[in-house]
A and B are shown apart, each in its own frame.
Chain A
Amino acid sequence: MTNALEITNLSKSYKGFHLQNVSFNLPTGYIMGLIGPNGAGKTTIIKTILNLVMKQEGSIKVFGLDHQKEEVAIKKRIGFVFDTPAFYPHLNLKQLKNVVAPFYEQWDNAVFDDLLDRFTLPLNKPLKQFSRGMNMKASIAISLSHHADFIIMDEPTSGLDPVIRREMLDVLRGIMQDENKSILFSSHVTSDIEQAADFITYVNQGQVVFSKTKDDVNESFAIVKGGNELLDTNTAKNFVAVRKGEFGFEALTADLNASKKIFGEQVVYDKASLEDIMFFHNLKFKSTN
């Protein structure tokens, strides 16, 4: 099985921010969600893949090719969506298409027109009159119109209402019917990732906390709730972080089976949502800083 994306020991430092030893792979044919709080490094990772930002250490391979040595060859097969769509506001979609299409040998007008149809986007209205949702849809349409094998999206659904977000996810699922396509998208809307992603990579403070399949995440993480008397320094070590309340504690475990062995039936095990996972990890990071 080939990897659409292989990142090994990626490091990049800015003033006050460090991306350290980021490593994860995305096998071809799957969707990976990149989650993490604002400022965690998601956008930086995406920018380094596209060589918009220069990495300092590490290697990045897309389709097995080095992302810098074969930059143009790779970019021909990549569709991208940034969270602030950069367009000339006075142009309409038809004119924008005429600007962008010549850059891609595989541009397909039929696909573009079909997408505009599905998204109900007007060809002749200037972009400055588009709502944010329409702008995003336009970005996505463009990114999907040149038979790209790898779609990279940075916060593609932020600022969109739930109905449009669902539409977007449906479009993404449609793309994934082709097992040669792969998608990487970053989002802090965890419910979108929960719905659409096959793999989840969680980044916090410039480091990868975990990179697993969604099933793996669902099966290993859980919220453990029990009486405060069950907590001591030993048992607390099992958890990522603990929240003590008046009537009991709430904790996140990263190893449900281990916790079951320790606590058995004395506690309640609840499904941990991605939001829970991020919340408790944040607690952990705050306390160690």
Chain B
Amino acid sequence: MLSLIIKDFRAQKQYLLLLFIMIAGISAGFNIAQRVEADIEVELYILTVVLSTLIASKLFTLFDYQANAELFFAALPVTRKQMVIAAYSSSAVLAIVTLGVHFLAIVLSSTELLRAEHTFMYEAPMWIFAFVALVLTDAFSFPFSFKYGLAKGSFVYGCFFITLIITAIVTINTLNPTGFLYTWVTAFLKQSPVMLISQLTVFGIIILGISIFISIHTYQGKDL
């Protein structure tokens, strides 16, 4: 089972390197641009981070698709269940690593090494938003990919993500400071890191768990 997840890292080593260089370039670029020019919208940066992480997490699936590898791996001594879990796992690992590269790039390109200059890097909301967006998009679109293939799955993926972003932007801009949503979000964010992390983890587990369950059942009946 581990072989299924690792296989991609083994097979796509050189592309991973390329990816990380690009990712680092994006974040370092933003960071340096910040120093040299006027403000770049933080929202733009956050969007870029999340978007690039989403795309990066699907890198392996893309390669498999191009190489028609799905048929090959399905004929190996693995179950459909293992293939589904491996797909989610690869995506998660790639997402985490990509976010890490983003963070590292900012930190390393800051004038004071090891100290990111922009407070937004330390702001929980960005990371929480990134995490929630990633979890929701994956959870929603993976079952589609397993049922209809990567092409249609990616389409759903894109649509869902765009909807999410638009919703987020609209919500943020029309947020009523005295409204229920604002109060709830502020209270939520005020919790201790331990509370935040554990609640987000539980959220992730439940949502992804349901999604994995659906995907497994879908994929077990799929003709390749």
Contact = CB atoms under 8 A, between A and B. Distances in A.
Interface stretch (B71-79, B112-120, B166-174): B71-79
Interface string A251-285: 00000000000000000000000000000000000
A99 B10 contact: yes
A123 to B, nearest CB: 16
A103 B79 CA distance: 12
A102 interface: yes
A146 to B, nearest CB: 10
Contact of B11 (A73, A75, A88): A88
Given A76-B77, A103-B77, A82 B71 contact: yes
A114 interface: no
Interface in B57-112: 63, 67-72, 74-79
Contacts of A88: 11-12, 63, 67, 69
Given A90-B14, A99-B11, A104-B77, 16 more contacts: A47-B223, A52-B74, A52-B75, A53-B224, A71-B79, A75-B78, A78-B75, A82-B72, A86-B67, A86-B68, A86-B71, A87-B67, A88-B69, A95-B11, A102-B3, A103-B3
A177 interface: no
Interface in B1-26: 3, 6-7, 10-12, 14
Given A47-B224, A76-B77, A99 B7 contact: yes
B221 interface: yes
A47 B77 CA distance: 14
Interface of A: 47, 50-54, 71-73, 75-76, 78, 80, 82, 84, 86-91, 95-96, 98-100, 102-104
Contact of A91 (B11, B71, B221, B223): B11
10 contacts: A47-B224, A52-B71, A52-B74, A53-B223, A72-B79, A75-B78, A98-B10, A100-B76, A103-B76, A104-B76
Interface of B: 3, 6-7, 10-12, 14, 63, 67-72, 74-79, 221-224
Contacts of A87: 67, 69, 72
Contacts of B7: 99, 102
B75 A50 contact: yes
B71 A54 contact: no
Residue of B6, B7, B221 contacting most chain A CB atoms (<10 Å): B7
Nearest to A89: B67
Contacts of B75: 50, 52, 75, 78, 80, 82
B11 A54 contact: no
B78 A52 contact: no
Nearest to B80: A51
A72 B78 contact: yes
A199 to B, nearest CB: 23
A53 B222 CA distance: 7
Nearest to A105: B77
Contacts of B68: 84, 86
Contacts of B12: 88
A276 to B, nearest CB: 34
A91 B10 CA distance: 10
A75 B76 contact: yes
Nearest to B224: A52
Residue of A84, A88, A90, A100 contacting most chain B CB atoms (<10 Å): A88
A105 to B, nearest CB: 9
- Top 3 closest pairs, chain A to chain B, by CB: A75-B77, A86-B72, A102-B3
